[in-house]
Structure 1
Amino acid sequence: MRNVTVLELPGGMASSLAIALDALKAANVLCVHAGRRAPFEIRSLKVTRASSCTFGSGDIVIVPGLGGFSEADLTARLSTPMVRRAVRLVEEARSAGAVVAASCAGTFILAEAGLLAGRRATTTWWLAPTFRKRYPDVELCAEQVVVADWPIATAGAAMAQMDLMLAVIAKFAGTRTAEDCARYLLIDRRASQVPYMAMTFLAGQDEQIARAESWLRKNIEREVTMDDLAAAAGLTSRTFARRLHTVCGMSPVRFAQRIRGEVATMLLETTRLSIDEIAQRVGYAEPSTLRRLLRRDTSHPPSRLRRPG
């Protein structure tokens, strides 16, 4: 049986905390009902200025979502005494040989502790630009829901806490138990955050990238080059590509594809236009190109994206 400590941070996301505890409890109950030993000894730890805990090798520490709805709010929270104490707790846990996992803005606590330096990680997609600027030594994979770079695992936006817990359960209680939990809790596995990313929100965090995004939407029916996008942003092509990667984590080609895909999805959901007509409206001469793009980003063919009626 592994000791699991779930940190309970003041102002943290209650849903994220509850998901972590409920998933672990479900794993224990399902194992016992199946005649197997409960895999986890679960405890929650309220983080205060004076919080302390003894960790051992093989223990697991879970950091739920930190909360916050803006970059400024998150930055302020990271400097509070309780969050700094949480940073110290995960440092101590990892030094003792514990596994550490965090989701959403809780991943910033791991990064603040230096645990993600040189590692692959993910975080909530809308804070990805902030994360990249603050921790350039982390290989951020913002499109992924979960990055399990054991003995550390990270997950994306708040409800990805469940995906994170299923990854932890699969690793330390077996895939059978994780699959049982997913069925019991009616959870569908999600491999990517891409379908949920709003490009206008990401691009809007940089004035010049936002200009390029707006220009592309107005010229979406035409063929566009990187030089066109850079000119719309008022930057050289090289500077534009570098800044775009910092803000959105993607190349100019991928940036254009994501915006075209967003518009195509909206048209599929709100009109009865054929896929051939939609392809032309978003700048693709070949409908097959749009089909491949949508299948890659959503894991569904265009027909599945249509709303009934």
Structure 2
Amino acid sequence: MRVAVLAVDGMFDSGLSVILDVLATADALRENAEAGDQAFTVIPVAVGPSVRTGHGLVLATTPLTEITDPPDVLVMPAVGVKTPDRIVDAVRGHPALDWVAEGRDYGAALAAACSGTFFLAEAGVLDGLTATTSWWLGPAFRARYARVDLDERRTLIHDDRVTTAGAAFAHIDLALAIVQQHSPALADLVARYLLIGDRPSQAIFAVPSLLATADTTMTAFERWIRDHLSEPLPINAVAHAIGVSERTLQRTTAAVLGMSPVEFVQEIRLDQATFLLRTTQQSVDTIASAVGYQNAATLRALIRRRRHTSTTEIRRGNASFGSEHRKHGRGARTGR
């Protein structure tokens, strides 16, 4: 299996390394898994003979002009830039885009993670498909690539021989998915060998306040919700309070976040509930009331459905919630 890893200047170092290391491990272990004789041949490719990574390391690459046969799989790791605008600038008009589109035409399987998904979308190969990207890039991705059915709440999506993965360390999931498509038994062996866990959703990492900054209406919506979190929040009343119509609020929330206003209210309530579970000893009933639910059962059910975990696991610290939640409790609004 010939895997071409498309490298560009400023790429995310760990994303590249993870893909190379997981595929190398798969190649080394394939005899143990009886995965056949087909080796994983991994070739870093680029526009020129080398690229410089985001941390300044120089990677020797095979120029695209020297690739005579299309690879079986083309992988695009993330670009190591920090803002959506800079990511769009990095992919817009990139000379590798035509090669990506040609690879799709020749039948190569495609894969990308985090900001690398912007390369696939910019090349047009995600049009009409369902894809994911890093949760904080969702609004920018959705605004630029309206023909892609984006679901950034999922860590990994496979649609019509195109695999996309979410945030930066989802490169692990992406590389393992490539191995799994070759041999499920080998993928299982690699996962156990490298102690790779199962992370089915990015929702536990998404910080609603950061997502809302993509639009002024969403910013006002998010702030109003947080200031009235323990109260009933009928959407028509909230829309009126921030100076827009309910229909405008529904359209804006769908366009920016890909969810309904009610779903966004739930995300903010879950965000604050998580903060309280992790940083206080308040009972679940007290926390449920503080975030607008009449009883703990409703909060527990929502956490199971939307976070794939439990209040007990969150309180123990076993769910992978980021420390950034701490800055979103009451009294942490300075500078916003």
The 1-side partners of 2:240 and 2:189 are apart by 53
Question: Which SS does the other structure have where 1:216 is aligned?
Answer: helix
- Give 1:54's aligned amino acid: T
The answer to whether structure 1 residue 284 and structure 2 residue 298 are counterparts is no
Tell me what 2:117 maps to. 107
Offset of residue 37 of structure 1: 2.6
Cα deviation per residue 1:212-232 (whole Å; 9 max; x = unaligned)? Answer: 111111111111111122123
The answer to whether structure 1 residue 42 and structure 2 residue 42 are counterparts is yes
The answer to whether structure 1 residue 54 and structure 2 residue 68 are counterparts is yes
Paired residues of 1:156 and 1:193 also in contact (CA < 8 A): yes
Among all aligned residue pairs of Structure 1 and Structure 2, give the percentage whose two residues are the same amino acid: 38
The 2-side partners of 1:97 and 1:193 are apart by 29
Offset of residue 186 of structure 1: 1.2
Offset of residue 38 of structure 1: 4.6
Tell me what 1:165 maps to. 175
The 2-side partners of 1:258 and 1:188 are apart by 24
The 1-side partners of 2:280 and 2:33 are apart by 49
Equivalent residues in 2 for 1:129-140, closer than 5 Å: 129-140=139-150
Offset of residue 79 of structure 1: 3.1
Question: Which SS does the other structure have where 2:154 is aligned?
Answer: coil
Paired residues of 1:10 and 1:47 also in contact (CA < 8 A): no
- Give 2:40's aligned amino acid: F
Paired residues of 1:267 and 1:278 also in contact (CA < 8 A): yes
The answer to whether structure 1 residue 72 and structure 2 residue 82 are counterparts is no
Offset of residue 307 of structure 1: 4.1
Equivalent residues in 2 for 1:3-22, closer than 5 Å: 3-22=2-21
Higher helix share: 1
The 2-side partners of 1:282 and 1:75 are apart by 36
The 2-side partners of 1:282 and 1:145 are apart by 27
Question: Which SS does the other structure have where 1:153 is aligned?
Answer: strand
- Give 1:258's aligned amino acid: E
Tell me what 1:27 maps to. 26
Offset of residue 34 of structure 1: 4.5
Tell me what 1:274 maps to. 283
The 1-side partners of 2:191 and 2:24 are apart by 13
The answer to whether structure 1 residue 262 and structure 2 residue 271 are counterparts is yes
Paired residues of 1:55 and 1:96 also in contact (CA < 8 A): no
The 2-side partners of 1:38 and 1:229 are apart by 59
The 1-side partners of 2:133 and 2:189 are apart by 26
Offset of residue 51 of structure 1: 3.1
Cα deviation per residue 1:153-173 (whole Å; 9 max; x = unaligned)? Answer: 11111111111111111112x
Tell me what 1:180 maps to. 189
Distance 1:234 1:124, change over 3 A: same
- Give 1:76's aligned amino acid: D
- Give 1:288's aligned amino acid: A
Paired residues of 2:33 and 2:189 also in contact (CA < 8 A): no
Offset of residue 102 of structure 1: 0.6
Question: Which SS does the other structure have where 1:43 is aligned?
Answer: strand
The 1-side partners of 2:217 and 2:68 are apart by 49
Question: Which SS does the other structure have where 2:147 is aligned?
Answer: coil
Paired residues of 2:176 and 2:187 also in contact (CA < 8 A): yes
Root mean square deviation, CA, Å: 1.6
Q: Which runs of 5+ in 1 are unaligned?
A: none
Q: Which runs of 5+ in 2 are unaligned?
A: 50-62, 318-336
Cα deviation per residue 1:1-52 (whole Å; 9 max; x = unaligned)? Answer: x111111111011111111111111111111344543541221113339632
Paired residues of 1:64 and 1:106 also in contact (CA < 8 A): yes
The answer to whether structure 1 residue 224 and structure 2 residue 237 are counterparts is no
The 2-side partners of 1:208 and 1:97 are apart by 43
Tell me what 1:196 maps to. 205
Offset of residue 201 of structure 1: 0.2
Offset of residue 114 of structure 1: 0.8
Give the length in aligned residue pairs. 302
The 1-side partners of 2:252 and 2:33 are apart by 53
The 1-side partners of 2:160 and 2:193 are apart by 26
TM-score, normalising length from structure 1?
0.93
Paired residues of 2:130 and 2:149 also in contact (CA < 8 A): yes
Tell me what 1:252 maps to. 261
Match of residue 141, structure 1, among 135, 151, 154:
151
Question: Which SS does the other structure have where 1:44 is aligned?
Answer: strand
Tell me what 1:86 maps to. 96
The 2-side partners of 1:115 and 1:55 are apart by 19
Offset of residue 249 of structure 1: 1.3
Distance 1:34 1:182, change over 3 A: closer
